[in-house]
Amino acid sequence: MGSLSKTQVDQLGDRLRKGKIAEGDFRLLDAYRGSFAEAYEEVVAIIRDTAELEPTGRPAKSTTSIIEKLHRETIRLSQMQDIAGCRLVVPSLLVQNQVVEQLKSVLAKAVVIDRRKRPSFGYRAVHIIATAQNKPIEIQVRTELQHAWAQMSEKLSDVVDPAVKYGGGDSVTQEILARFSKIIASFEDKESVASAAELVDGLRQLLIYAIEKWTSNPKSGEGN
């Protein structure tokens, strides 16, 4: 993609969004995706050196995911901050805060998006948008419990409705995800929860609630 300007990238994104795909557009998109590889590796190396953690991730978002995001949102292709990204899963909220501060101190122009107090459809984590070689690279920093919630949301989107991850789908599934998210947030807030026993009890109640709701509304558990 090296020679494409920002305007040309956005024109490509508009064609992909509208389904008016010209010959060679997928090659252009593949080249654009590939142009993030070196920046991704640079950021991963910084994470390894600074936080002494091994991130998981992808140097390029899939073609399908990019097109779906263009359809789902009004964002332009050149504005996407998660074309390339990686993830760190840490044991606790305390470690999460420490890692975020460490990375902020060594990543130039880092932008922190804290989705713990203002979750996105129940999703809680801290995202750092790093810049390397003039490319945005997304770093997701999750606690193990936040990661467990995200995995559950992914699974439900696979078996119930792909829209679940973005606030869609049936109300029962959304309520269960919202409750689970709040239980996790309460547990991770040391001022409001005293012990792991409270987390276990909350999850047990949620499981009972989920079984009752899905039993009374079996269609909510059907795939597409």
Q: What is the pLDDT of residue 224?
A: 38
Q: What is the pLDDT of residue 21?
A: 92
Give this prediction's pTM. Answer: 0.85
Q: What is the pLDDT of residue 170?
A: 83
pLDDT in tens, 150-180: 988 888 888 888 888 888 888 888 888 898 8
Neighbours of 184 (CB within 10 A): 23
Q: What is the pLDDT of residue 1?
A: 41
Q: What is the pLDDT of residue 220?
A: 45
Q: How many Cα atoms sit within 13 Å of 183 on the Cβ side?
A: 21
Q: What is the pLDDT of residue 179?
A: 86
Q: Which residues of the chain have pLDDT under 70?
A: 1-3, 190-199, 211, 213-224
State the Cα torsion 88-96-119-214 to the nearest 10°: 70
* CB 199 within 8 Å of CB 183: yes
Q: What is the pLDDT of residue 47?
A: 96
Q: What is the pLDDT of residue 222?
A: 46
Distance between the two ends of the chain, CA-based, in angstroms? 36
Q: What is the pLDDT of residue 152?
A: 87
Q: What is the pLDDT of residue 48?
A: 96
Q: What is the pLDDT of residue 86?
A: 96
Q: What is the pLDDT of residue 189?
A: 81
